[in-house]
Amino acid sequence: MTEHIEVAVWGGAGEHGRSCYHFQAGETSVLLDCGGKKEHGGQYPALVAQLVRKLKAVFLSHAHEDHMAALPLLLQHGYTGEVWLTRETHRQLPGYAKAWRRYVQSRGGTVPYGPYDWERMRYRFLDDEAPQGEWASIAPGLRAAWGPSGHLPGAVWLLLELEGRLAFFSGDYSSESTLLQSTLPPAALFAGRSIELALLDAAYGDAPGTQTSHLIELTDKLAEVHARGGHSLLPVPTCGRGMDLLVELIERLPELPIAAEASLTLEWARMLRPDLAAHWLRDEAPARLASAMRRIRTVTTDSERRHLLSDDPHVILSPDGMMLAEPALTYSRLLRGDPRHAVIFTGHRSSDARTDEPYSAEIASCRYKVHQGLPDVQQMLRKLRPQRALLVHAETGATARLTSHLLRQGYSALNETQVWQQLPRADESMTS
Ligand SMILES: [Zn+2]
Ligand SMILES: [Zn+2]
């Protein structure tokens, strides 16, 4: 057995985007995620071809662009193996691949691979190989276990065993989703061993907020907009937090009428399928979601949109968290001239998000947590007790503040955990 698991960051630590991590123990090496970064019209991980060719496996934690948009580049770098992911993540890939291409083109860039390169990728499904929380054999000297990470349906954490050594990858993680299940590796997987290396989602840096505190901020804002006679537009991704927001808003603001685009309600209704609900939703979630869905107004056509906007003030959930596609653009056009209305973003916005056109309607940001901040990282370190931890998915400053906070709280002593702020990584990004 080798001394320890070596990790190389090819993207995603000290920055938000292009997540890509190389783990190696002896002759066994794997890659975790291979994403794009939105800044500057699209950036990609610093892939090292001679290491890519030797990979035993590539794992994809979930379908978001910042984790998957560079996967086809692996083929260009000589990877001939499989990409391991869940069936639900696989189903979502084409939508996110399209969204990435649309984003890059909207910034005048080109994607450095063809749309058909996705079809050349070979996939294996983690959930076919083993149920959640149990080991699956991936290759000689390599086992993996997975479980839901509470970030998005299909999103997983991974526990890897490389030549007998354990490494954990949280993926994008939240234990605070209203509807989505989240777990951590069960004790049975460890057999008395400890995790040598943990890569933890710390996208919110040292932010101390809880989901409840953010929801209070959001509902206060919605009530304020409603009181002044305005509509609130919430652009949300098709899967994930829109579903949570719907249930929270219906339950917290029962007096406030809510409308949602049909493409969202179709996706939410699909999650009520017993097999999907059992995999990805909390026990009580299907009943709460079904009840919330009975109380919303569904919108499909442009004339319904216009009719809705001339009606009493509504909270409107529309697909596309970045507001780059229809129907979010139509809503934006119809609402922009009136300062009573508001567009409220609840997710991460890249630093080149559009602000070029005059806008009378209010633009606000109220976070809905789908990642980890200070209290969440603390809790994860307490539960997993890894020997080394690397905090990823945030800019250097935020990561440094979180790290010094954790060190002050004694995490360097806790089970000899070292918290690494950042690791050296291959120098040049493969920007197209
Ligand atoms: Zn994500
Ligand atoms: Zn992410």
State both tokens at 150. Answer: 């509470």
Per the document, the length of the chain is 432
Alpha-carbon dihedral sign for residues 379, 35, 6, 400: negative
The alpha carbon of 314 and the centre of ligand 2 are apart by a number of angstroms equal to 30
Rounded Cα distance, 109 and 416, in Å: 46
Question: What's the pLDDT tens digit per position in 161-214?
Answer: 999 999 999 999 999 999 999 999 999 999 889 999 999 999 999 999 999 999
Q: What is the mean pLDDT of the chain?
A: 91
Exposure b/e, 24-60, CB count within 10 A at least 16 = b = bbeebbbbbbbbbbbeebbbbbbbeeebbeebbbbbb
The alpha carbon of 64 and the centre of ligand 2 are apart by a number of angstroms equal to 6
Contacts of residues 92-95 at CB distance under 8 Å and 24 or more positions apart, as own/partner, are: 92/63, 92/152, 92/153, 92/154, 92/239, 93/63, 93/68, 93/118, 94/118, 95/63, 95/238
Q: Which residue has the tokens 């610093």?
A: 46
User: Ligand nearest 15 Cα, by number?
Assistant: 2
Where do the structural domains in the chain lie, given as residue ranges? 6-207+371-431, 211-365
**pLDDT reported for residue 321:** 74
Q: Tell me the backbone φ, ψ of residue 123, rounded to 5 degrees.
A: -115, 150
The alpha carbon of 146 and the centre of ligand 1 are apart by a number of angstroms equal to 16
The alpha carbon of 58 and the centre of ligand 1 are apart by a number of angstroms equal to 17
Measured in whole angstroms, the distance separating CA 265 from the mean position of its chain's CA atoms is 20
Alpha-carbon dihedral sign for residues 215, 227, 336, 263: positive
The alpha carbon of 64 and the centre of ligand 1 are apart by a number of angstroms equal to 5
- The topology (CATH level 3) of 211-365 is Rossmann fold (3.40.50)
- Number of C-beta neighbours around residue 416 at 10 A: 11
Q: Which residue has the tokens 């979930």?
A: 62
The alpha carbon of 196 and the centre of ligand 2 are apart by a number of angstroms equal to 23
The alpha carbon of 172 and the centre of ligand 2 are apart by a number of angstroms equal to 6
**pLDDT reported for residue 35:** 98
**pLDDT reported for residue 324:** 76
**pLDDT reported for residue 124:** 98
- Angle, CA of 166, 170 and 175, to the nearest 5°: 130
- Number of C-beta neighbours around residue 69 at 10 A: 30
**pLDDT reported for residue 420:** 61
**pLDDT reported for residue 350:** 59
User: Ligand nearest 241 Cα, by number?
Assistant: 1
**pLDDT reported for residue 335:** 94
The alpha carbon of 28 and the centre of ligand 2 are apart by a number of angstroms equal to 26
User: Ligand nearest 96 Cα, by number?
Assistant: 1
User: Ligand nearest 393 Cα, by number?
Assistant: 2
Superfamily of domain 6-207+371-431 in the CATH hierarchy: Ribonuclease Z/Hydroxyacylglutathione hydrolase-like (3.60.15.10)
- 56's torsion region: left (phi>0), alpha (psi -120 to 50) or beta? alpha
User: Ligand nearest 12 Cα, by number?
Assistant: 2
Q: Which residues are placed with Cβ below 5 angstroms of ligand 1, an ion?
A: 64, 172
Q: Which residues are placed with Cβ below 5 angstroms of ligand 2, an ion?
A: 66, 172
Question: What's the pLDDT tens digit per position in 111-167?
Answer: 999 989 999 999 999 999 999 999 999 999 999 999 999 999 999 999 999 999 999
**pLDDT reported for residue 431:** 37
The alpha carbon of 131 and the centre of ligand 1 are apart by a number of angstroms equal to 22
The alpha carbon of 16 and the centre of ligand 1 are apart by a number of angstroms equal to 10
The alpha carbon of 151 and the centre of ligand 1 are apart by a number of angstroms equal to 7
Low-confidence stretches of the chain (pLDDT beneath 50) = 415-416, 424, 427-432
The alpha carbon of 318 and the centre of ligand 2 are apart by a number of angstroms equal to 21
Q: Which residue has the tokens 């968290």?
A: 321
